[in-house]
Structure 1
Amino acid sequence: MKGKHAKNRFPLGPRATGALFGLAFFGVVAGTAQASIGSESDPGTGSRSGDQIAAMEVLPHKQKGARDASREKAEAEKSTTMDARSRVIARARTWNPGTDDRVRYSQVRSHNGYRADCSGFVSMTLGLEKPGPNTQGLTSSRYTERIDMDDLKKGDLVMDAQGTNTTRHVVIFEKWANKDRTSYWAYEQRGRYGTDYRERDYGLDSGSQYKAYRPKNL
């Protein structure tokens, strides 16, 4: 069947029309309530603005960044100190201690501008002016300061600055040889031999003339 009667083939009854109207009304109310809830302040932020909330979120990150930078600076300073000490040991090894290629001991001859004796050797490892001060000169406040033997660290010195040029001596401390600290490993330029690396106990006996010193540039 065609014509205007076809449009009303399935007319809605009064109950169906009422149900549809009720659903539509409920949808409007629910949407309004949802919009109202969405516009309320977050209980955690109160009435703070978006910029304030963002600032609160950024602040902890800034504080963490400052702490990290401070820690990195401290580690860098520590690394610089340790590198300086490591350089002393590295330079000592360039004179080939304990090998056939070692620099022979001499108070007259020099090696690369530094005297080939104990104080000249130490001066070279510390990067001091050539040909280097003698052992007595190394004990001056210009180059070193006194420390306790227990405070020795890699690159520190143990010196006997008393006596004559044939009895004075200086060695470079590297590390303790045992947990009881009864001896230590040291680099030295020793008489009638030359550059050596061996276990020593200078300065550990009561009344020893050997004293511990810390170079000013370490």
Structure 2
Amino acid sequence: MPSSRRLRITLGVAAVGAVAAIGVPSAVASSAGPAARPVARPVAQDVSATATITRAQVIARAKTWHPHTSKRVPYSQNKTHGGYRTDCSGYVSMALALSKPGPNTVGLASKTYSTRIGMASLQKGDLVIDASGNNHTRHVVIFERWVNSKTKKSYWAYEQRGGYGTDHRVLKYGLSKGSQYHAYRPKKIR
């Protein structure tokens, strides 16, 4: 076999392997031909607990579940979307790129995944968590920004809420005295 043909075959196998590594089935990659290129899509990927993520990436991943649109992911404690539970903690786990299906709300509030901070210290991608009670009363949201950074009386957040699904709305969780909601900084954020 001529060396140029061997080189083309070797490069073709390497290209199919590279496409398979990013999640395109090899049957699709091999039938697509040499000019085919994989299409980049925003999908939640299973990432180790030690990998880091930026604040902007957390928000970008939160948006992939189409909050506050007709395409939003419906809420369920029993179903999954992309391998993550479609409840509040599964949604946050996806946004943080934690291992699938993700820890529950109590787990997210643990020292394994986060550090408690003051509400006034919240930054984009931080969490506001109520880890008390049971699976029908606990909740977690992703902080985006203060409505007014001087008064800090309400904030924009992403959440997966019962009876609705993925949402992006103004909240006041954790801002009243005696609230069971507290602010947490995910350890994965760099």
Q: Report if TM-score (shorter chain) is over 0.5.
A: yes
Aligned residue type for 1:191: G
Task: Give 1:167 deviation, angstroms.
Answer: 0.4
The alignment-based identity, stated in percent, is 65
Does residue 193 (structure 1) correspond to residue 164 (structure 2)? The answer is: yes
Task: Give 1:89 deviation, angstroms.
Answer: 0.2
Deviations 1:75-121 (CA, angstroms, capped at 9, x unpaired): xxxxxx9x700000000000000000000000000000000000000
Correspondence for 2:141: 171
Correspondence for 1:204: 175
In the alignment, the residues of structure 2 paired with residue 193 and residue 132 of structure 1 have an alpha-carbon distance, to the nearest angstrom, of 21
Q: Decide which of 79, 83, 107 is 1:113's aligned counterpart.
A: 83
Does residue 103 (structure 1) correspond to residue 73 (structure 2)? The answer is: yes
Q: Decide which of 168, 184, 191 is 2:155's aligned counterpart.
A: 184
Q: Decide which of 111, 115, 138 is 1:141's aligned counterpart.
A: 111
SS of the aligned residue for 1:136 comes to: helix
In the alignment, the residues of structure 2 paired with residue 146 and residue 161 of structure 1 have an alpha-carbon distance, to the nearest angstrom, of 12
Deviations 1:165-212 (CA, angstroms, capped at 9, x unpaired): 000000000000013110000000000110000000000000000000
Structure 1 stretches of 5 or more lacking a match? 1-80
Structure 2 stretches of 5 or more lacking a match? 1-51
TM-score for the superposition, normalised by structure 2: 0.71
Aligned residue type for 1:136: V
Per residue, is there more helix in 1 or in 2? 1
Indicate the RMSD between aligned Cα atoms, in angstroms: 1.0
TM-score for the superposition, normalised by structure 1: 0.62
Structure 1 runs (4+) deviating above 6 angstroms are: none
Does residue 160 (structure 1) correspond to residue 130 (structure 2)? The answer is: yes
Does residue 132 (structure 1) correspond to residue 132 (structure 2)? The answer is: no
Greater gyration radius: 1
In the alignment, the residues of structure 2 paired with residue 134 and residue 193 of structure 1 have an alpha-carbon distance, to the nearest angstrom, of 19
Does residue 88 (structure 1) correspond to residue 82 (structure 2)? The answer is: no
In the alignment, the residues of structure 1 paired with residue 110 and residue 140 of structure 2 have an alpha-carbon distance, to the nearest angstrom, of 14
Deviations 1:47-84 (CA, angstroms, capped at 9, x unpaired): xxxxxxxxxxxxxxxxxxxxxxxxxxxxxxxxxx9x70
In the alignment, the residues of structure 2 paired with residue 196 and residue 175 of structure 1 have an alpha-carbon distance, to the nearest angstrom, of 15
SS of the aligned residue for 2:133 comes to: coil
In the alignment, the residues of structure 2 paired with residue 98 and residue 127 of structure 1 have an alpha-carbon distance, to the nearest angstrom, of 21
Aligned residue type for 2:136: T
Aligned residue type for 2:163: R
